[in-house]
Structure 1
């Protein structure tokens, strides 16, 4: 059984709006793959600006998809290196501010430095108003024009725009247009695709690596997802 930091495991519960996704506290079984793709994201974003976020993710494949069903991994240290200098300077002193469906706004820093090496890693949450640009870039990179956007927004308002907030003077600008396109382009230039095999376990550094579910088919797919620890 998957580990839990909260004692005995509770009964299975279904997540709101996600009929094929159930959770056991920190443990989730991801939905069967379909024709949709997610935007790149790190877990526990958006959230605390200090970002004492989840550090390690474990993906455990019980059964792969009949076709596709891969997971994209994005090296966000490499994505940061690929950003133009002017965009690095802007993002280094800024936070993303996400409009949530429940009506509030949540901030997360745009970049985090590794606590040991000092290497910066871009942070991103590819849902809500930024998701369409992510899917458009994925289609361009892969040539898979048939894929469509994941209908779930994971708490982010689907149409209200994400803002870029200057951490010094609190000035806000929309995170859209050229800012969004250049950021997403650097992220997708840093993409790796992981195809699953039965019994495989993949441990992922949630600060350095973003991830996204990719398209596929076959109801037999069982990919478990466990969250460990904080940074």
Structure 2
């Protein structure tokens, strides 16, 4: 049973007048906007859901601008094919997940697994591919199987986070930019780290770029706006200098948009034990898997990021998945992450431009 607020009259264009659905914020939060079916056909027929979604796209887009996240619950979405039918109604993100940070495989068409990061680890709040020049405008998550415990896809209103941040911090990072350095180890065929977590944390470049041809990888780096450099140990380091904020293309709002908090090496982002393990393991190696600096290359002190972590934690929302849920996110306005979990879990994702 959802303890939801009264129906919201701002529920986007025609959604509040659509007799087939009901929409209201998922209590006790303002977001996500919960959309549930009133029409039996939407509960029973995936084809009816796809038809309704197609016809309701303008209203859904306006509601997404208002709320940043929409949760469709109770609709006839049962498997990957049903999710794929919805994903096809959006423009696919260019380059898919080429050059992405976390390990994930393509399942079918536009649909990917959410991540292979071990279930014991929390994935910090972030906006997808904010460390690259080209990033998806929207994301959709589909819950094929919720975990026995934990495993929430946590979300966070980044407009609210931006308002919480000290103006002088925002201005400093806005002026100087952010440099992302990511290192990928030599191909997996050359041997795997024994530690399973490290295998996923420090990925091989043939997996990241889906090619074992160095010339092809260099071209993909050029296409995606990454500088690249081959190191003597056979690994590849890519870099990109991005901004700390972006203007939302539809609303014009300036929003904190980067991955400082997840790609900076410090005890708050990695945990004390994890940070110490990585620090010792990579002290004599030419590069760490992730590193983030000021745009001019100057190091960033962990204490400089404390207000960012405080703001993210203050705005974090975690609600339990239900089988068949579909969560649509504005990737600029809303960050996402994942709580640790136990038991089988299958969350799928699609990236849209």
Q: Normalization by structure 1: what TM-score?
A: 0.72
Decide whether the 8 Å contact of 2:142 with 2:347 is kept in 1. yes
Asked which structure has the greater RCO (Cα within 8 Å, sep 6+), the reply is 1
CA distance in 1, matches of 2:339, 2:274: 10
**In structure 2, do the counterparts of structure 1 residues 39 and 131 end up closer, same or farther at CA, with 3 Å as the change threshold?**
farther
Of structures 1 and 2, the larger Rg is shown by: 2
Deviations 1:12-69 (A, max 9, x none): xxx9984xx4214642123577211112221123111xxx521110011011000111
Residue 230 of structure 2 is matched in structure 1 by none
**Contact between 2:170 and 2:244, CA under 8 Å: does it hold in 1?**
no
Counting only pairs closer than 5 Å after superposition, residues 48-197 of structure 1 correspond to structure 2 as 48=133, 52-101=134-183, 102-125=236-259, 126-130=261-265, 132-136=267-271, 158=288, 161-165=291-295, 171-197=296-322
Q: CA deviation at 1:202?
A: 0.5
Distance 1:206 1:130, change over 3 A: farther
Q: Residues 264 and 290 of structure 2 are in contact (CA less than 8 Å); yes or no, is this contact kept in structure 1?
A: yes
Q: Distance in 2 between matches of 1:118 and 1:17?
A: 30
Distance 1:56 1:85 in 2: 27
User: Match of 1:200?
Assistant: 325
Gaps of at least 5 residues in structure 2 are 1-80, 93-99, 184-235, 278-286
Match of 2:339 in 1: 214
Equivalent pairs counted in the alignment come to 195
Aligned to 1:139: none
SS in 2 for 1:194: coil
Q: Contact 1:100–1:106 (CA<8 Å) still a contact in 2? A: no
Given that 1:130 and 1:176 are in contact with CA atoms closer than 8 Å, whether structure 2 keeps it comes out as no
| Cα pair 1:34 1:215 within 8 Å, conserved | yes
* Structure 1 residues without counterparts, runs of 5 or longer: 7-14, 137-144, 152-156, 166-170
Give the equivalent residue in structure 2 for 1:29.
113
Q: Contact 2:121/2:340 (CA < 8 Å) preserved in 1?
A: yes
Give distance in 2, aligned partners of 1:26 and 1:98. Answer: 27
Q: For residues 181 and 130 of structure 1, do their structure 2 counterparts lie closer, same or farther at Cα, with a shift above 3 Å needed? A: farther
2:160 touches 2:315 (CA, 8 Å); kept in 1?
Answer: yes
Contact kept in structure 1, 2:164 and 2:311, CA below 8 Å? yes
Aligned residue among 101, 123, 128 for 1:43: 128
Residues 1:30 and 1:205: Cα distance change in structure 2 (over 3 Å)? same
Q: Does 1:227 align with 2:351?
A: yes
- Whether the 8 Å contact between 1:62 and 1:222 is mirrored in structure 2 is yes
Tell me the SS of whatever aligns to 1:81: helix
What SS class does the counterpart of residue 121 from structure 1 fall into?
strand
- Does structure 2 conserve the Cα–Cα contact (< 8 Å) formed by 1:40 and 1:124? no
More strand by share: 1
